[in-house]
Amino acid sequence: MKKYNILFLPLVLLIIFPGFRLKASVQFVDAALSEVREMAAKEGKLYFAHFSADWCMPCQWMEQNTFKDPKLAFFANKNYLAAKLDIDHSEGQW
């Protein structure tokens, strides 16, 4: 019976405290776009760039919703390298 209690307790905690669950999200590489391009070539992956800004509401919505979707996060992290570039700073400007 004690074995069942030990196995049952973590399940109950995950239900009661959903903050303990692992949160899937797209993992962005902290590097310049040129570096991401090179890393993707070495890993044999494609890459994508998410151009963002603090004042861009659609960008913020994507970061809070789209990039936190578990199915998208799993697929993107497995198949792509993701770069997030802030257009208000030099590395993200054209």
Q: Return the pLDDT at 20.
A: 46
Its pTM surpasses 0.75: no
Q: What structural domains and CATH numbers belong to the chain? A: 23-92 (3.40.30.10)
Distance separating alpha carbons of residues 71 and 78, to the nearest angstrom: 11
Residue with tokens 């913020």, as numbered in its chain: 60
Distance CA 74, CA 59 (A): 20
The pLDDT tens digits for 6-42 are 666 565 556 665 554 456 999 999 898 999 999 999 9
Q: What is the mean pLDDT of residues 69-93?
A: 88
Percent of the chain clearing pLDDT 90 (strictly above):
62
